[in-house]
Amino acid sequence: MKRIIAIVAGGDSSEHGVSMKSAEGIYSFIDKEKYTLYIIELTRQTWEAILPDGSRAGVDKNDFSFMDNGQKVIPDFAYITIHGTPGENGILQGYFELIGIPYSTCDVLVSALTFSKFTLNQYLKGFGVRIAESMLVHKCQGISDEDVMEKIGLPCFIKPNASGSSFGVTKVKSKEQIQPALEAAFKESDDVMIEAFMDGIELANGCYKTKGKSVVLPITEVVSKNEFFDYNAKYNGQVTEITPARLSPELTDRVQRLTSAVYDILGCKGIVRIDYIITEGEKINMLEINTTPGMTATSFIPQQVRAAGLDIKDVMTDIIEDHFN
């Protein structure tokens, strides 16, 4: 009998639509001869399974079950592709732990840690990972323009501490832009990260490990046509993505070894993507880690899988079967 895979998408953040596109990608990637697939869309109000005929069935949160053609369906595995809360920050992982359904991503602690950009960066700094100078500002605090310029300097990035897809991110180049940028970021997150600008080559590197293998994918070089790799660059084609990146073999090896090391330091699971900036002197600076990376056909991870000469269908099978071996 085929295992039943629930592709869990949607969520409560501004990234809901992006997540649904990733769910369509994952649905197309997973081997349908081995697995029975359902996309389950979560919002704050409703949890619904999308059935083969296009109709929807409510999900019972007691056991994550739903009815299809008069039969009760309980998924064997949850492939989480929610970008943002509750699927990227540990909340949904805790739920699946409680009801005993294995899932595709990092566990509760690692998901929560990586979702807080500032906390993650400060944690990895203790392991010798290079990061940009930054500070955290809570909504109840606020911060003066003078403090930002004195402690971080201009230009800088003001971004939600717990969000993705570049929603609420501003590259700030003048004093007058600071408070509007903070206001935009606070709409996405209760705390905001103010990060020093680093001039260099932006990279993205995917990785996954199972009990039987360790795979660090080719690196993607990101050349944005905009001020930075913002939403339009990510999703509306205003970017050039070069896979594999135009790096020397030595620098490529250093980046990939760091990706593998960070994966192990954190105890990651499933596919993760780590973003970097290479600054003068070939210094590797980590920007952030994405534990539920985008999975449309044109997203970084599928690009990198193709560049590695791998079949994305086999990668999906690796991720799923690792929990049953």
| Residue range 63-106, pLDDT digits in tens | 999 999 999 999 999 999 999 899 999 999 999 999 999 999 99
- pLDDT at 208 (0 to 100): 98
- Return the pLDDT at 233: 43
Q: 309's torsion region: left (phi>0), alpha (psi -120 to 50) or beta?
A: left
**In this structure, how many other beta carbons lie within 10 angstroms of the beta carbon of residue 315?**
22
Tokens read off for 285: 């600076």
What are the angstrom distances between the C-alpha of 282 and each of 126, 167, 202, 279?
Answer: 21, 29, 12, 6
Find out whether 56 and 39 touch, Cβ atoms under 8 Å: no
- Domain definitions of the chain by residue range: 3-105, 134-196, 199-321
DSSP letter (8 states) at residue 103: B
Residue 50 burial (CB count, 10 A): 19
**Phi, psi (rounded to 5 degrees) for 26:** -65, -40
Residues 6+ apart with CB under 8 A from 247: 201, 203, 219, 221, 255, 278
Task: Give domain 134-196's CATH architecture.
Answer: 2-Layer Sandwich (3.30)
**Tokens linked to 109:** 């602690």
Give the per-residue pLDDT at 232. 46
Measured between alpha carbons, how far is 82 from 17 in angstroms, rounded to an integer? 10
Digitized pLDDT (tens) for each residue of the chain, 325 residues in all: 899 999 999 998 888 999 999 999 999 999 999 999 999 999 999 999 999 999 999 999 999 999 999 999 999 999 999 998 999 999 999 999 999 999 999 999 999 999 999 999 999 999 999 999 999 999 888 899 999 999 999 999 999 987 654 678 999 999 999 999 999 999 888 899 999 999 999 999 999 999 999 999 999 999 977 564 444 444 445 679 999 999 999 999 999 999 999 999 999 999 999 999 999 999 999 999 999 999 998 899 999 999 999 999 999 999 999 999 8
Nearest CA-CA partner of 312 in 295, 324, 292, 294: 295
Q: How many residues does this entry show for the chain? A: 325
- The rounded distance, in Å, linking the Cα atoms of 249 and 299 is 24
- This prediction has a pTM of 0.91
pLDDT (0 to 100) of residue 228: 47
Q: Please, what's the b/e burial string for 214-227 (b: 16 or more CB within 10 A of its CB; e: otherwise)?
A: ebbbbbbbbebeee
Per the CATH hierarchy, to which homologous superfamily does domain 199-321 belong? ATP-grasp fold, B domain (3.30.470.20)
Strand 3-10 and strand 77-80: pairing? parallel
**CATH of the domain spanning 3-105, picked from 3.40.50.1820, 3.40.50.20, 3.40.50.150, 3.40.250.10:** 3.40.50.20
Contact 271, 289 (CB under 8 A): no
Predicted local distance difference test score (pLDDT) of residue 14: 81
Give exposure, 261-294, as e/b (b: 16+ Cβ within 10 Å): ebbeebebbbbbbbbbbbeeeeebbbbbbbbbbb
Cα of 215 vs its chain's centroid, Å: 18
The predicted pLDDT at position 153 comes to: 95
By the 8 A CB rule, do 73 and 3 touch?
Answer: no
φ/ψ of residue 18, rounded to 5: -60, -40
Half-sphere exposure of 268 (CA within 13 A, CB side): 28
Any idea what DSSP says for residue 175? G
